[in-house]
Structure 1
Amino acid sequence: MKKLVYIFTYKLPDVSGESNGNGVIKKIWNQYEIFRKSYDTYLLGYTGNQIGLFHEDKITIMPNSFLKVPRRWNLFAAGEKIAQEMGASFFYIRYGFSDGIFVKMLRAIKKSGASTILEIPTFPYKRTFYRDRLLHRLIMRPLDCHYRKKLFHYVDRIATFSEDRKIFGIPCIHIVNGISVNSIPVRKPVPHKDAIHLIGVASMRSSHGYDRMISGLSEYYRNGGERKIVFHVVGDGPELPKYKDMVEKYSLQSHVIFHGPQFGEALDELFNSSDVAVECLGCHRNNIFIESSLKSREYVARGIPMISSCKIDVIPEDFPYLLPIPGDESPVDISEVLKFYDKVYKAEPVETVIQKMRAFALLHFDMENTMQPILQEFERMKSENE
């Protein structure tokens, strides 16, 4: 069986595949499960402050090539060593940004005769990656802009969720951001008549736009709204203090509840008690108008209707379980949310809603299906090299 090495600048999952609620790590594990059905697959990533190579339920600590440097230097140095010594046929790399040590690893992979597919999760990534941090603007951005021009010498294909035919001069494979649907629990609705419960699970960045929902609730009650709505905010992040200040300012403590990060059964219980999920309400702030987030997939897989201000790539415009709202800075129109809620749950039993959404998820973005273009491309490369 040919060997495949998957390299990423994230923490390795533990030997059981546990991701501790990190959606990216969960996705990496699910991709690993798909790859290992066809190839002898290795994962190269972080374990604490060290570099680990995961293979067959065992993590091997790789020796550091550098001292007192960013971890990614030692990660890519380990990748270079693996390319020189392991005899792997394929490398799949989740892209962060380009610099000299990254390109040096790619050069070693190319020299070894292996084929490389680079996955770029978000493109264009300028606003989402560089943000406003001084380190990003003054160091990482110039490095990336310089070294990414060299990628076409060493990378065979780029896997992207965008519609680009080429990125950095490299032909693209168009894929759908998939999840392992069967790993997502189905919502088990808890009957309640006291209120309409909304839930938003996020890392609380500006692009999530939950301030628009809080402002909308404030306007609804200030204008005499009578139906009780509770917005459950799950997670942590840089925008959380702002959200808490808004709730206090508008006296919405009984309508917005902050739960902090939640995982496992605790998170499942919150979903079971909720009626509508809140997806991205601020993607326009990053000039993104079509999104493919893992969270949108999870909401559909769980069977919970959702609200979004951004078009979701795999969901058609007539999807009855999605309420599209304007992609701007206006407060969420709560009256439209209430109409959506009434329309969904008066049209059919909640169990039917859940069943239909789950079936849609299995058909359209289960990873068994979405990873096929990658596997087919690796097979094509293998045939060419034999």
Structure 2
Amino acid sequence: MASLKRVLYLTPVLLDTMPNAGIRKKVFGQLQALRALGYEAQLLYLHGDGLLLTNGDGEEKQFTLPKQRPLFRQWGYYDHVAKLIGNLARFSHVYLRYHVPTPAYLRFLKMVAAIEHNPFVYCEVPTYPYTREFNGLKGRAYHFLDSYYANKAGQYYDEVISFYPAKSIFGHTPILLENALARSIIDEGAAAGPREMGKQTGPLRMIGLAANLERFHGYDRVIRGMKEYLDHKTEDQRDVHLTIISQGDVFEELKVLANEFGLTEKTTFLSPRVGKDLYDIIQTMDLGIGTIARYRVELFTDSSLKTREYCAFGVPQLLSAEDRSFPKELTFVRYIPNDDSPVPVGDLVSWLEDLHQQPNWQVALYRHADEQLSWKGQMSKAFAVSHTVPT
């Protein structure tokens, strides 16, 4: 008897907005991976004033919802799912990207639990612990809902997925995954191939990325490190330049900081880019800056998407918090302390000059991306533990 292998992926997020571009890349990469693993997968997410159901490969169906503020559409999202999807019983797996639970969310979980063939339910928790992200009035409302409903919802999950080590989340020992890339991005980076890096006499070109810049990204550490380096730079030492692609209040604050330090000509601030527009810029860089101040939100491990993108396009990375996908012994990765100290730009210049002297050094980055950073490998870990449902 054949087994049913159909996944319903649910996320009450506006994936088509620029601030959520990183989430979109991740979710669609996971969807692509599920298809590669032999699953029929459909994704339902907030889109404009309604919802969009897609298989991630061109098949789409739009649903219009009553006019509501985005927040209330998120809270009522799961009330709409059962009505719009129709027969939930045709899915063998339900994959939930964690969002603050609501009464509608709990009702939906009970509905899934009542299905005769008992679909396997995953809950993915992108950041853990996440309550430090609850700020302001909306944050207090989120905190109340989470404290009341999160563990109640946990009893309906078969597995919880996390990207951060934890003994227990919602009463489950989580499956630990790493962030990854869609195979199409890895292939695009490999197709671009090795290229000439910055000349030894030209500026060291650094880049930092974030959909919406926060203090925990730590790019102020880079600017302060540049200031120290340039204040003492000799004529025979390389110049440096930093490009930051992002938006938000912290992004604007960094512009002010760079100006105060006299680094206006040494820094470039660009609005968010996606796809080819972004990757064309990454490929011109000598060093990709990861998230280097997670200690500011009491996190000490990392699994950032941008570091994987740097690797796929042959760009060495600067990290601080431990990333299990990038062990310290890799020649193209440099770790600095996960603290408030300025980035040691002079040390980075010396390290990269030595790295560039090694023959075919970029091949190691492409190979690492190919073998270690695909969503297919990560999702196979999660779905290896699920049951099969007879058709």
Contact kept in structure 2, 1:189 and 1:274, CA below 8 Å: no
Match of 1:118 in 2: 123
SS at match of 1:317: coil
Residues 198 and 278, structure 1, Cα contact 8 Å, conserved in 2: yes
Distance 1:176 1:144, change over 3 A: same
Higher relative contact order (Cα pairs below 8 Å, separated by 6+ residues): 2
- The separation in 2 between residues aligned to 1:2 and 1:332, in whole angstroms, is 48
Q: Does 1:322 align with 2:322?
A: no
Alpha-carbon contact 1:282-1:328 (below 8 Å) kept: yes
Tell me the amino acid that sits aligned with residue 201 of structure 1: L
How far apart are residue 11 of structure 1 and its match?
Answer: 3.3
The amino acid that maps onto 2:107 is K
Farther-moved stretch of structure 1 (54-63 vs 189-198): 54-63
3, 7, 15: which one aligns with 2:10: 7
Matched residue of 1:232: which SS? strand
Pairing 1:304–2:312 present:
no
For residue 86 of structure 1, report the CA deviation from its aligned partner.
Answer: 3.2
Q: Give the 3 Å change call, closer, same or farther, for CA 123–159 of structure 1 in structure 2.
A: same
TM-score normalised to structure 2 length: 0.88
Matched length: 373
Aligned equivalents of 1:20 and 1:143: distance in 2?
A: 24
Deviations 1:283-319 (A, max 9, x none): 1101111111111111112111111121112221211
Deviations 1:223-279 (A, max 9, x none): 345431111112222211111001111111121111222233332332222111111
Distance 1:23 1:12, change over 3 A: closer
Distance in structure 1 (CA, Å) of the matches to 2:324 and 2:246: 24
Of 65-74 and 51-60, the range deviating more from structure 2: 65-74
Q: CA RMSD of the aligned region, Å?
A: 2.5
81, 97, 105: which is aligned to 1:102? 105
Task: Return the match for 1:157 from 156, 159, 184.
Answer: 159
Cα distance between partner residues in 1 of 2:334 and 2:241 = 18
In structure 2, the residue matched to 1:372 is: 380
Measure how far apart 1:181 and its partner are: 4.2
Whole-Å Cα distance in 2 between the matches of residues 330 and 122 of structure 1? 25
Which structure 1 segments of 5+ residues have no match?
A: none
> Does 2:206 correspond to 1:198?
yes
Residue 224 of structure 2 is matched in structure 1 by: 215
Structure 1 residue 77: Cα displacement? 1.1
Q: What does residue 179 of structure 2 align with? A: 177
State the AA in 1 paired with 2:112.
I
Mapped to 1, the partners of 2:231 and 2:169 lie a distance apart of: 49
Does the 8 Å CA contact 2:185/2:312 hold for their aligned counterparts? no
% identical equivalent positions: 23
Question: AA paired with 1:169?
Answer: G
> C-alpha distance in 2, partners of 1:263/1:320?
28
Establish whether residue 23 from structure 1 lines up as the match of residue 22 from structure 2.
yes
Structure 1 residue ranges (4+ consecutive) displaced by more than 4 angstroms after TM superposition: 18-21, 65-69
Partner of 2:48: 48
Per the alignment, residue 58 of structure 1 pairs with 59
Q: Does the C-alpha gap of structure 1 residues 83 and 292 become closer, same or farther in structure 2, counting only changes over 3 Å?
A: same
